[in-house]
Amino acid sequence: GFLRANTLQNPSAGLLKSMFENFSNYERLEKLYQKKHTIFMSCFSSRIRSYFFPWYKGTPCITPYNTILLEERLLQPFLTFLNSYNIPVIANPTYKLFNISYESVAKDLKFNNGIAYLPSTANMSEEEIIFLANKIKEFYKITVHSSSSPK
């Protein structure tokens, strides 16, 4: 994760410089994120979108993060599958749950342990986005869809 203590109360010189230099760029960046995310999501059927991206409700993201949700049992095979195509993907590196018990802890753990970070579409060409989407669809076909099909 990231060290966030006192970040906004006592911002570093680097953070202040970045904020100042990018203040006029935020609209351009948001439009770029929206465009690339729209291309990415348009590659999937509604069935695959709802399976891997349940939070997607038709509105493109304006963040550089590109996450996917998998069943826990499929996380490592998914990482291995994409890595075999030299696609960098990592298991959830940031969100950790509290070590306390509460009513929905099992549901939260399942979600938390199924998140993977995909490459940021903002830095990708349209061809690269389509390639990534095609590999995700291929993984779905050989793991999820084939296991739910009647034998």
Q: What is the pLDDT of residues 35-60, one digit of tens each?
A: 999 999 999 999 999 999 999 999 98
What separation in angstroms does the CA of 122 have from each of 10, 36, 61, 62, 88? 30, 6, 11, 10, 15
Strongest mean pLDDT among 10-14, 77-81, 108-112: 77-81
* Burial (CB count within 10 angstroms: exposed 0-12, middle 13-18, buried 19+), residue 67: middle
- Letter for the amino acid at 68? I
In this prediction, residue 3 carries a pLDDT of 56
CA dist., res. 4 & res. 27, Å (int): 25
Nearest C-alpha neighbor of 33 from the set 65, 62, 56: 62
